[in-house]
Amino acid sequence: MTKPVPIAEADIHGYVDGQLDDARRRAVRDWLAAHPDDAARVAGFRALGERWREAYARVLQEPVPPELLDALKPQRVTRVRRLAWAAAASVVATLVALAAWTLVEPHHLPGSAAADMIERAAVAHATYAAELRHPVDTGAPSKEELLAWLSQRLRMKVEAPSLESVGFTFIGGRLLPGESAPAALLMYEGKHGQRVTLYWGPEFRQERETGLRFAHSGRGERVYYWLDDECGYAIASSDLGQRQLLRVALLAYAQLEK
């Protein structure tokens, strides 16, 4: 295995902001897969960005106040007015800077692809992870045959990343309906019965990769998710806290996005 190239702090922030070229982005992603502390920082930066977006998205969409527009109209300039213009310019500059920082990634409002996928993944987890007798499809005789069948139905290679290093064993999966295409749900179980699911949703693929992000469902399931040009993925759990689930999500992300 190739040793990850050392990554500078500027690379980490560029990765979070989506400002790196493909080669450097892959280098940072490899580094994060081998350095959980830095990966946790990146997840924290993105969670903070989501909170900023939630707090200021409506403000950024508001019309410019009439007072600021009036300040731009040609008129006699007095010292007081120059000070008012300077103050207005400062406010505008602050809003523009905030918009540039918070809107690097699209804000996932209700109805967006990411929000729809999170909801579907959370519902699937809540429905099947709580099931004791038949949580997964019992028709496939082996893991390999199950993954081959799911791959055929989803028209892409479906893989089950190994999560044993963080205490979770693959126990099976099932085919799920989607809005416009089938989806798949893979399930893992911990030694104390905790369950984690990995949702595959090809209908949610998008050209621009989102990177790993965190969300809460309306019912309380915790979800780490990402979208790329092949599929949308979501790691969900009702049993694990955010930090525990992050370890699982980082391991799955590193294997599926290698």
> Are 66 and 132 in the same domain?
no
> Are 51 and 150 in the same domain?
no
> Are 133 and 243 in the same domain?
yes
CA distance 70 to 73: 5
Structure-model confidence comparison of residues 24 and 236, the more confident one: 236
DSSP 8-state assignment for residue 60: H
> Are 145 and 126 in the same domain?
yes
SS3 of 108, please?
coil
> Are 82 and 170 in the same domain?
no
SS3 of 85, please?
helix
> Are 144 and 238 in the same domain?
yes
Q: What is the pTM of this model?
A: 0.60
The overall longest dimension of the chain from CA atoms, in Å, is: 84
Q: What is the domain range of residue 121? A: 113-256
Residue 47 neighbours by CB under 8 Å, 6+ apart: 213, 214
pLDDT of 78 over the 70 cut: no
Confidence (pLDDT) at 51: 62
Q: How far is CA 20 from CA 9, 27, 114, in A?
A: 13, 10, 22
CA distance 256 to 80: 60
State mean pLDDT over 171-175. Answer: 92
> Are 144 and 227 in the same domain?
yes
Confidence (pLDDT) at 162: 95
> Are 135 and 221 in the same domain?
yes
Confidence (pLDDT) at 110: 42
> Are 99 and 134 in the same domain?
no
Return mean pLDDT, the chain. 78
Task: Answer with the one of 61, 89, 105 that is the final residue of a domain.
Answer: 105
CATH number for the domain spanning 241: value is 3.30.200.100
SS3 of 198, please?
strand
Residue 79: CB atoms within 10 Å: 7
pLDDT of 172 over the 80 cut: yes
Could you tell me which residues are beta bridge partners of residue 223? 215, 236
**pLDDT bucket at 84, cuts 50 / 70 / 90:** low
> Are 25 and 79 in the same domain?
yes
> Are 175 and 82 in the same domain?
no
> Are 93 and 162 in the same domain?
no
Task: Answer with the one of 71, 105, 139 that is the final residue of a domain.
Answer: 105
Number of domains in the chain: 2
Query: Any idea which residue has 């729809």 for tokens?
Result: 116
Task: Answer with the one of 46, 75, 105 that is the final residue of a domain.
Answer: 105
* 26-35, 78-87, 163-172: the lowest-pLDDT one: 78-87
SS3 of 12, please?
helix
Confidence (pLDDT) at 161: 95
pLDDT of 99 over the 70 cut: no
